[in-house]
Amino acid sequence: MKLFKVPEPTIMRLSLYSRVLEQMEERGIPVISSVELGDAVGINSGVVRKDLSMFGEFGVRGVGYNVRELRDNIRRLLGQDRTWPIVVIGAGQLGSALAAYPGFRQRGFDITALVDVDAAKIGTDVQGIPVLSWDEATNMIQEKEIKMAILAVPAEDVQATAQKLVDLGIEAILNFSPVILKLASVQVQNVDLTVFF
């Protein structure tokens, strides 16, 4: 089997397709065309067909795609057909809001704990998700073999916190902190919410 690197924009679009397909299925729509799928995410139908053709044969020419089948295939391609344990670092307002967001669980991400250094927060919970100290989190990350983390800490703590995560075996970080994080050894996605305003 030939392995190839999928361009990041394609992966982002697959995620959008998955959301649209979920909505279509909820509305009871059994088939969708590449034109309809493209319109729903704001791109050309040719891009939809090209993206999907990277992964095999989907749909029937002139008919479209079976919504459930395509959704299931895209979820499998994105790794959303299994549960991924994640830890949120920072139990402030942003970290707590991210941990409580139901969309993560719907997409196969299980927020197992929040981590904080504030003694007043440690031992509490956010909608049933425990807030742990670093010592407790270190054990949990290693025991549960957690490979992904969400970072929501102040700017001055970002680099040291990220390095601590790497040392614990974390392989992917979704960084909501106000600093662009670059680490050669792990996958990092920086999210700047102010860009959208």
Decide which of 51, 76, 101 is a domain's last residue: 76
Query: Are residues 35 and 51 located together in one domain of the fold?
Result: yes
Query: Are residues 27 and 115 located together in one domain of the fold?
Result: no
Domain that holds residue 53: 8-76
Backbone φ, ψ for residue 74 (5° rounding): -70, -40
Number of structural domains in the chain: 2
Mean pLDDT in residue range 115-142: 96
Mean pLDDT in residue range 29-43: 95
93 assigned to a ligand binding site: yes
Query: Are residues 169 and 109 located together in one domain of the fold?
Result: yes
Backbone φ, ψ for residue 164 (5° rounding): -60, -40
- Any domain includes 94: yes
Decide which of 24, 55, 76 is a domain's last residue: 76
Q: Cα(35)–Cα(48) distance, rounded to whole angstroms?
A: 8
92 assigned to a ligand binding site: yes
38 assigned to a ligand binding site: no
Q: Concatenate the DSSP letters of all residues of 21-85 into one string.
A: HHHHHHTT--EE-HHHHHHHHTS-HHHHHHHHHTT---SBTTTBEEHHHHHHHHHHHTTTTS-EE
Structure tokens at 106: 């719907």
151 assigned to a ligand binding site: no
91 assigned to a ligand binding site: yes
Which run of H or of E encompasses 174?
strand 172-175
Q: Does pLDDT of 197 surpass 70?
A: no
Pairing of strands 148-151, 65-66: unpaired
Q: Decide: 78 and 18 in contact? Cβ < 8 Å.
A: yes
- CA-nearest of 94, 98, 92 to 111 is 98
Decide which of 25, 47, 76 is a domain's last residue: 76
User: Which of the 8 DSSP states describes residue 118?
Assistant: -
Band of pLDDT at residue 164, cut at 50, 70 and 90: very high
Query: Are residues 103 and 144 located together in one domain of the fold?
Result: yes
**pLDDT for the residue 4:** 56
Q: Cα(50)–Cα(67) distance, rounded to whole angstroms?
A: 18
The more confident residue out of 81 and 150 is: 150
> Is the overall model pTM greater than 0.85, yes or no?
no
Q: Cα(42)–Cα(37) distance, rounded to whole angstroms?
A: 9
- Any domain includes 139: yes
46 assigned to a ligand binding site: no
Q: Decide: 65 and 30 in contact? Cβ < 8 Å.
A: no
Band of pLDDT at residue 56, cut at 50, 70 and 90: confident
